[in-house]
Structure 1
Amino acid sequence: MATPGKPAQVQGNHRSALIALTSLFFMWGLITSLNDILIPHLKALFTLSYLQAMLVQFCFFMAYFVMSFPAGFVVEKLGYKGGILLGLLIATAGCLLFYPAAGYQSYPLFLAALFVLASGITFLQVAANPFVTALGSPETASSRLNLTQAFNSLGTTLGPALGATFILAVAVKSAPELQALAPQDLALYAQAQINAVQHPYLLLAAVLAAIAVFIAVFRLPRVEAEAGEAGHDALPARAGVWHYPHLVLGALGIFAYVGAEVSIGSLLVSVMGLPTVAGLSADVAGRYLSVYWGCAMIGRFVGSALMQKIAPSRLLACNALINILLLGLAVLVQGHFAMWAMLSIGLFNSIMFPTIFSLALAKLGKFTSEGSGLLCMAIVGGAIMPVLQGWGADNLGLLPSFVIPAVCFLYIAWYGLAGSRPR
């Protein structure tokens, strides 16, 4: 039996609560996908290598590694709603830091702002993901989380389009072009580059603050972080989260998935700019990036329905194998086919994060909150794998470097077929 006052599963209609939580998924999707636009912009602005430009993702996703366990502890103390509110406030502060970063044209300050922003999103992830899984029966947890993650993908679809319109609209000039400008024109150009980053992130700060006020006054169901500590579907209690193999292997799956997804999204604008692929300009390629994330949105709606009929683990393995095939064909064939093959990977990426997350949390009982912290900590794959692929792109070539996400998908296929079984 669950602890009195702390039910393992909340009863009743939770549609309004799910709608409120969905707004969080939408916002952190939009914010995260803006990194894919920041990378080519800052790479050109500060004349960075691929490896140096990937520090954007390194600092952003390293926050998950540093902050996930502290966030899990805070969520246990404050509850899911308290964790969500704290996450929104931290994320708002991170957005506000973009104002001085752009004003001083400081790459290290940009990286610091990204770390603070991602720390806030980490709190949101640690609190919101298990909250959604608790708002209904365990059997439909994967389907429910995929549905809310679909709106996360709506955010990631709109993010690149908005970023390309505002951030990439002002083309970065080369050093000789800057030297040829008159002082007045140089000042106008500098101000335009500052505004291109400041204005979108100030708007995001205002929206996050408004959502925080809404969540503060909204009556979310009371679900404590310890929910389900002794439910009938829990595995026998063990010493800690590290003693549940399907959770630990799932953390590696999250590491691999986020690493692959972020690596591909970060370099797609550069891939579409290659003469051997599509030869697109940065702003046009940035708009096409919305197709990648839009496919993920469609795939999550479809996947949520398919999981009513197909085992989530089998669908996960199938999608991972299809992505390996698409990457291999893109590297071998090139041309516009390569562009569309890589963009379509988003469709099959769609269900991976929420499915791995829910499979890994299955039957953890009282360790569910700690397990969520461990899984969010594994999002650090988005920091490590893009840097590794950036090194590969600098030294092996941009297209050959995509063998790295292919290896990640291979592991995910194995997890779906074998590693996800609770035991």
Structure 2
Amino acid sequence: MTAKQQLKYGRLIPVMLCFFAMGFVDLVGIASNYVKADLGLTDSQANIFPSLVFFWFLIFSVPTGVLMNRIGRKRTVLLSLVVTAISLLLPLFGDGYALMLCSFSLLGIGNALMQTSLNPLLSNIISGERLASSLTFGQFVKAIASFLAPYIAMWGATQAMPTFGLGWRVLFPVYMVIAIIAILWLSSTPIEEEKPDKASGFAACLRLLGKPFILLCFLGIICHVGIDVGTNTTAPKLLIERVGITLEEAGFATSLYFIFRTAGCLLGSFILNHLSGRKFLAISVACMLVAMIGLLSTESLPIIYICISLIGFGNSNVFSIIFAQALTFVPEKKNEVSGLMIMGLFGGTIFPLLMGVASDAVGQVGAVAVMTVGVLYLIFYTLKLKN
């Protein structure tokens, strides 16, 4: 390995640790269930916690793009890690509703800052054709943190002595320590950033949506996240409705989705080094289309599982490919473009609302139909890409 390669990987490792920290936001799912049980909350009260995450993406993503132009990408990532560490500190003082609401709000804000700034920071280390594969590998690292959260919480809940009386909340100090390590490591890592021509404002960022291709990418991100959140929400309900199994048994569908999504991220990081983004996106979207057709028509448990697996694999690399395409389309405005793309994560709120209305009207087939519209849009988007 040459000295230049050693320098690149030396800078890449702390950035990947930040991707791991990005996955901390997914602890809100398991944590909200424990808070609901501890405080005797209703579903509506408990569901406020995960909803907060997507709300802060809508509010903070574009302003973060403006902030990066003023203080730089690395400093913005460091700020996001500090906010994340503070959010993880609060639950050590108790698990009251207001305290947890504040903690999860800060966690959502920190994650909105991080997702907006970390991806373009990676482009200062990895560029060109390898950017999409590196972004995908970052998503794989992020998924590891998402996977570990339920198991750490479960260990804390069942092993009272080693957790200093925190129970399931031991999850927070464990991740807080990792966040602090990421802060120290990244702050000591030199990363050269290209300087923006000028500090742009909020309106200037939104004006980028006037570029047809950037608008296509933005809508693509909305559909990707909508399918992601929609599958997690609908898969268990679909199994209960079609096969008649219990909620506990149906919960495996969500785990199955994440297994194939994580595997897809890992495979994609290698495949994208040898295959163009357009071709791999076409394969990915084709997997999801086959899956949606299957879910619209079958009542077979094995086939439903296969379809959920295809969605997990197919949707695993969509974000990275679209994000890389958007960054390279307007390379002089990476910060602003990043803010717009991350704002598209608000699709995680839009799709479930539409799917809820559709499923109330005609059953879970209605929810699948809404996700199918998202897949059809991604087919349209793929056709617009150049080889």
Fold similarity call, TM over 0.5:
yes
In structure 1, runs of 5+ residues without a counterpart are 1-10, 171-187, 230-237
Corresponding residue for residue 336 of structure 1 = 301
The code of the aligned residue for 2:376 comes to L
Corresponding residue for residue 202 of structure 2 = none
Corresponding residue for residue 65 of structure 2 = 72
The code of the aligned residue for 1:293 comes to F
The answer to whether 1:352 aligns with 2:318 is yes
Q: Structure 1 pair 69/386, CA: closer, same or farther in 2 (3 Å)?
A: same
Corresponding residue for residue 14 of structure 2 = 20
Deviation for aligned residue 1:274: 5.8
Deviation for aligned residue 1:342: 1.5
Residues in 2 aligned to 1:162 and 1:386: alpha-carbon distance in whole angstroms:
28
User: What secondary structure sits across from 1:95 in the alignment?
Assistant: helix
**After superposition, where does 1:113-192 map in structure 2 within 5 Å?**
113-163=103-153
Is the contact made by 2:217 and 2:326 (CA closer than 8 Å) also made in structure 1?
yes
Corresponding residue for residue 177 of structure 1 = none
Residues in 1 aligned to 2:292 and 2:130: alpha-carbon distance in whole angstroms:
31
Residues in 2 aligned to 1:162 and 1:289: alpha-carbon distance in whole angstroms:
18
Deviation for aligned residue 1:353: 0.7
Corresponding residue for residue 63 of structure 1 = 56
| Number of aligned residues | 372
Corresponding residue for residue 260 of structure 2 = 295
TM-score, reference length from structure 2: 0.82
The code of the aligned residue for 1:47 comes to T
The code of the aligned residue for 1:159 comes to A
Residues in 1 aligned to 2:75 and 2:69: alpha-carbon distance in whole angstroms:
10
The ranges of structure 1 where at least 4 consecutive aligned residues each deviate by more than 6 angstroms after the TM superposition are: none
Deviation for aligned residue 1:403: 2.2
Is the contact made by 2:152 and 2:170 (CA closer than 8 Å) also made in structure 1?
no
The code of the aligned residue for 1:410 comes to L
The answer to whether 1:310 aligns with 2:275 is yes
Residues in 2 aligned to 1:256 and 1:57: alpha-carbon distance in whole angstroms:
19
Q: Structure 1 pair 341/277, CA: closer, same or farther in 2 (3 Å)?
A: farther
User: What secondary structure sits across from 1:135 in the alignment?
Assistant: coil
In structure 2, runs of 5+ residues without a counterpart are 200-204
Is the contact made by 1:20 and 1:215 (CA closer than 8 Å) also made in structure 2?
yes
Q: Structure 1 pair 156/277, CA: closer, same or farther in 2 (3 Å)?
A: farther
Deviation for aligned residue 1:336: 2.6
Residues in 2 aligned to 1:370 and 1:264: alpha-carbon distance in whole angstroms:
29
Deviation for aligned residue 1:307: 2.4
Residues in 1 aligned to 2:126 and 2:311: alpha-carbon distance in whole angstroms:
30
Residues in 2 aligned to 1:77 and 1:268: alpha-carbon distance in whole angstroms:
43
Is the contact made by 1:269 and 1:289 (CA closer than 8 Å) also made in structure 2?
yes
What is the CA RMSD across the aligned residues, in angstroms?
3.5
Is the contact made by 1:278 and 1:335 (CA closer than 8 Å) also made in structure 2?
no
The answer to whether 1:221 aligns with 2:191 is yes
Residues in 2 aligned to 1:268 and 1:63: alpha-carbon distance in whole angstroms:
26
Measured against aligned partners, the alpha-carbon deviations of 1:4-25 in whole angstroms (never above 9, x if no partner) come to xxxxxxx864112122111121
Is the contact made by 1:296 and 1:349 (CA closer than 8 Å) also made in structure 2?
yes
Deviation for aligned residue 1:55: 3.9
Is the contact made by 1:318 and 1:413 (CA closer than 8 Å) also made in structure 2?
no
Residues in 1 aligned to 2:296 and 2:115: alpha-carbon distance in whole angstroms:
34
TM-score, reference length from structure 1: 0.76
Deviation for aligned residue 1:384: 2.4
Q: Structure 1 pair 397/41, CA: closer, same or farther in 2 (3 Å)?
A: farther
Deviation for aligned residue 1:43: 6.8
Corresponding residue for residue 200 of structure 1 = 171
Residues in 1 aligned to 2:70 and 2:357: alpha-carbon distance in whole angstroms:
41
**From 75, 78, 103, the counterpart of 2:95:** 103
Task: Kindly indicate whether structure 1 or structure 2 has the higher relative contact order, using CA contacts under 8 Å at least 6 residues apart.
Answer: 1
Q: Structure 1 pair 249/154, CA: closer, same or farther in 2 (3 Å)?
A: same
The answer to whether 1:254 aligns with 2:221 is yes
Measured against aligned partners, the alpha-carbon deviations of 1:94-116 in whole angstroms (never above 9, x if no partner) come to 2334456x632x2x654443232
Is the contact made by 1:161 and 1:290 (CA closer than 8 Å) also made in structure 2?
no
**Which structure carries more helix by proportion?**
2
Corresponding residue for residue 209 of structure 1 = 180
Measured against aligned partners, the alpha-carbon deviations of 1:377-411 in whole angstroms (never above 9, x if no partner) come to 11111222233334444554345423222221221
Measured against aligned partners, the alpha-carbon deviations of 1:334-366 in whole angstroms (never above 9, x if no partner) come to 353224422442111111111110011123132
Residues in 1 aligned to 2:206 and 2:82: alpha-carbon distance in whole angstroms:
34
